[in-house]
Amino acid sequence: MSAPTITEDRARSEERARSFLGRLRSGDEVAYLITFLAAASILFVTGWIVFELFRNSALSRHEFGWSFLTTQVWDPVAGRFGALPFIYGTLITSALALLQAIPLGVGAAIFLSELAPARVSDALTFLIELLAAVPSVIYGLLGVFVLIPFLKTVEPAIRRVLGFLPFFQGPFYGVSVLAAGFVLAIMIIPFIISISREVLLAVPGDQREAAMALGATKWEATWDIVVPFARKGIIGSIFLALARSLGETMAVTMVIGNDPKIHASLFAPGYSIASVIANEFTEATGDLYVNALIELGLVLFALTFLINGMARLLILSTTRKGSTQ
Amino acid sequence: MKKLTCLLFAATMLTGMVSAQVLINGAGATFPYPVYSKWFNQYHQKFANVQINYQSQGSGAGIRQVTEGTVDFGATDGPMNAEQLKQFQDKRGSAILHFPTVMGADVIAYNLPGISQELNFTPEAIAGIFLGKITKWNDPELSKANPGAKLPGSDIIVVHRSDGSGTTYVFVDYLSKVSKEWETKVGRGTSVNWPVGLGGKGNEGVAGQIKQTPNSIGYIELIYAIQNKMAHGNVRNAAGKFVQPNTASVTAAAAGALKDMPEDFRVSITNAAGKDSYPISSFTWLLIPAKIQDQSKKKALIDFLHWMLDNDAQAMAEALDYARLPKAVVAREIKAISKIQ
C-alpha cells in the first residue's frame, strides 16, 4: 500500500524540483529584476536625499538666493548666512590632501604591485587596509596630539624657506588649514594605495612581457606600459579618496580651528562644510538657521557631484586619447 | 496542571507589573546630563515603577523635540524665547513650564607660562579680549586688576566653542550685559559670529586648545575646569568684587537675582546683584508641558519634581560639582508645580 505512493511522491517531487531549478537556471528575467531593483534602490536613495535637502532648505534658498554661495558672513544671531568660507575651506583642505596623497599613494601602489617581493607586498597591503578602517576621530586625536606639535616645531623652518609666499604668512597657532590638509592626506592615502594596487595587479602579464621582449627595462615597462594601462582605475581611486576628504567631519573639525573666514595663509584657521554642520546642527535654534545648515549640505552634495562629473570627463578624455595612439 | 496554574499566575503578575510601569522620555541639554542620569537612576531604584529615559542631545534638540511632542519633557541651558513659547502653544495647545534644576557657570581659563596665581578679570577686560580690542597680556586693563602678577607682553590667543552650546549662550549673554558694543556687534546665541579666535569642539576641545597653546584664553564649563584642574581666573561682579567661581558663589548669584525673577523662571542670572555672586552663572531648566493627558505620567513627573527639589537630591547634585538651588527658589518652584494640569 505504501510502496507505490512513496515512489510516486518522490517522482513528483523530483519533477517539481527539476522544473523549479530549470526555471531558475533559465531565469535571466529573475536575475535581471533582482539586480535591477538593487541598482534602482541606489538611484532612489540618492534622489531622495537631494529632494529632502532641497525641500528642507526652502527658507534659506528663498531668503538668500544664489548669494548664499558668494557671501562670507556666517552670523546665526543676526540670521545672515553665507557658504563661501566653508566652500573654500572644504576645497583647499581636500586639494592640499590630494597634493600629498597622490604621489605617495600611487608611488606606494606601484612599489607594492610591481617591485616589492610578494611577501612584503602582502604584509604591507594588510597594514594599509587596516589604516583605512581606523575611525576618523582617532586621526583627529593623532592630529591634535602628534601632528600639530610636530608642525609647531617645523613651522619656523617652513617660514624661513617659503615665507615669501602669502600661503605661509601670519601667526601660526597649530590648528590650521595646513594641519587639516595633512590629517586628510594621511586618511586618504590607504584608499589610493589599496585600490591602485589592485588595478595594477589586474594588468595582464603579457603586457609587461611584451614590453620587456621589446627591450624595455623593468621600470620602463612599469611606467610606460603598466601604469597607463591602469590609469582609469588609478584615477578612480583618487576620486574615491577625494570624496572621502570632502565629506570628512570629525578629524577636520578637531584640527582646522573652526573659523569661518577666508585667509590666504595656510597657517591660518579655516572651516569646512561638513564640520560646521556637525558642530552647529544640534543646537541650531530658529527655522532659518536650520535651513541654512541643510542648504550647506545641499551645497556639499552638489560640490561632490560636480567634482565626480569632472572626474568622469577626465577619464573619458584620457581613454579616447589612449585608444587612438 | 499545577504547573500551568503557576505559570498563568506568574504571567498575569508580570503583565500587571508591566502595565503599572510608567515610562517617561526626555531629551535636551548635555551640561546637566551627569546629574540627571544619576537622579533618574536613583529615582528608579526608589520607585521601581517609574522609569525616566533621558537623551542628552543638546538644548536646541530638547526644545525641538518637546515642541514636536516626541518626548514627554525637554531640558535646556537657555530659556525658550517668546517665539518658541508661541510655537509650543500653537502645536501642543498648552503652555510650557520652566523648572530650574541646578546651576552651572563658565570660567575664564588661560594658559600663561610663569604665572602661578589666580588672575583677576574685569568685565571690560573680558569683553575687550573677546572683541579683539585687547590683544596683549600686559594691557593696562589686565595689569591694573592684577598688581602682583608679571604679565608678559605677548599676544593673547582667544579660544571659543565651535559647536552650538549652552555654555556659549551663558558667556555671550554675560558679555551682552556688561558691554554695549558686544550686544550690538555680536549679540546672544548658542553660536555667534566671533570677532576673533579659534574654535574648539566641546569643553574638551577648548580646554585642549588652551593647554596646548601658551598665552591663550577661553571660557569653559566650571565643572569641567574643576575636574580637569584647569587654571582659571576670578571675575569682578556687579558689586565690584572679584569672585572666585565655585558652587557657593554660583548659588549666591541665583539668590542675588531672586528679586528680578519672573513667575515662569525664565531668567538669566548672569551679572547678578550681591557681593558674593559669581557673574557668569546660569540655571539649567526642565521643560514640562503645562497640560499632560496621561494621568500616570503626570503624577510621576510631579512626584519627581518634588523629589528633585528636596535636600537629598540637591546634595547629590552638589557632590557632582553642580551648584544647588537657593532655598527661596525651591520654595517658589514647589508653588509652580501646581500649574501642571
Task: Quickly tell me which residue has 504547573 as its cell.
Answer: B3
Are the beta carbons of A77 and B190 separated by less than 8 Å? no
A178 pLDDT above the threshold of 50: yes
Report how far residue B247's alpha carbon sits from residue B245's, in angstroms, rounded to the nearest whole number: 7
Within an 8 Å CB–CB cutoff, is residue A183 touching chain B?
no
- Rounded to an integer, the average pLDDT of B266-289 is 93
**In the prediction, which pLDDT does B44 show?**
93
Within an 8 Å CB–CB cutoff, is residue A259 touching chain B?
yes
- Average pLDDT along chain B: 90
- Rounded to an integer, the average pLDDT of B108-118 is 90
Each residue of B226-240: b (16+ CB within 10 Å) or e?
Answer: eeeebbbbbbbbbee
Are the beta carbons of A76 and B60 separated by less than 8 Å? no
Whole-prediction pTM? 0.83
Helix ranges (H only) for chain B are 2-20, 33-46, 59-68, 82-92, 123-131, 140-145, 166-178, 180-185, 202-212, 222-227, 247-256, 295-309, 311-319, 327-337
Which residues neighbour A149 within 8 Å (Cβ) at sequence distance 6 or greater?
A174, B212
| DSSP structure class, residue B49 | T
Element (DSSP H or E) covering residue B213 = none
Report how far residue A125's alpha carbon sits from residue A112's, in angstroms, rounded to the nearest whole number: 8
A181 pLDDT above the threshold of 50: yes
Are the beta carbons of B165 and A73 separated by less than 8 Å? no
Grid cell for residue A245: 576628504
Within an 8 Å CB–CB cutoff, is residue A284 touching chain B?
yes
Strand boundaries in chain B, DSSP class E: 22-28, 50-56, 73-76, 96-111, 120-121, 157-161, 198-200, 216-221, 234-236, 242-243, 281-289
Residue A2: band (very low, low, confident or very high) from pLDDT cuts 50, 70, 90: very low
| Nearest alpha carbon to residue B96 among B110, B112, B109, B84 | B84
For residue A76, the SS3 value is coil
The beta-carbon neighbor of B162 closest among A258, A284, A285 is: A258
Within an 8 Å CB–CB cutoff, is residue A74 touching chain B?
yes
- Rounded to an integer, the average pLDDT of B206-232 is 92
Report how far residue B212's alpha carbon sits from residue B215's, in angstroms, rounded to the nearest whole number: 10
Dihedral, CA of residue A81, residue A82, residue A83 and residue A86, to nearest 10: -80
- Chains A–B, number of C-beta pairs less than 8 Å apart: 87
Closest residue in B to A73 (Cα) is B193
B197: left (phi over 0), alpha (psi -120 to 50) or beta: left
Are the beta carbons of B162 and A73 separated by less than 8 Å? no
> What residues of chain B lie within 8 A of the CB of A284, using their CB?
60, 164, 190-191
**In the prediction, which pLDDT does A20 show?**
64
Dihedral of alpha carbons B267, B270, B275, B278, sign: positive
Higher pLDDT, B78 or A93: A93
> What residues of chain B lie within 8 A of the CB of A148, using their CB?
212
Are the beta carbons of B84 and A279 separated by less than 8 Å? no
The beta-carbon neighbor of A280 closest among B57, B61, B163 is: B163
Report how far residue B40's alpha carbon sits from residue B174's, in angstroms, rounded to the nearest whole number: 31
Min Cα–Cα distance to chain A from B233, Å: 23
Residue A19: band (very low, low, confident or very high) from pLDDT cuts 50, 70, 90: low
ipTM exceeding cut-off 0.90 for this assembly = no
Min Cα–Cα distance to chain B from A41, Å: 30
Min Cα–Cα distance to chain B from A250, Å: 10
Min Cα–Cα distance to chain B from A149, Å: 8
**In the prediction, which pLDDT does B16 show?**
46
Min Cα–Cα distance to chain B from A297, Å: 17
Report how far residue B83's alpha carbon sits from residue B93's, in angstroms, rounded to the nearest whole number: 15
> What residues of chain B lie within 8 A of the CB of A253, using their CB?
162, 201
Give the residue from B193, B204, B211 with the most A CB atoms within 10 Å of its CB, the best one to mutate.
Answer: B193
Are the beta carbons of A78 and B201 separated by less than 8 Å? no
Give the residue from B165, B191, B194 with the most A CB atoms within 10 Å of its CB, the best one to mutate.
Answer: B191
Report how far residue A259's alpha carbon sits from residue B199's, in angstroms, rounded to the nearest whole number: 6
Q: Are B243 and B277 in contact (CB under 8 A)?
A: yes
Report how far residue B208's alpha carbon sits from residue B202's, in angstroms, rounded to the nearest whole number: 10
**In the prediction, which pLDDT does A27 show?**
73
**In the prediction, which pLDDT does A24 show?**
61
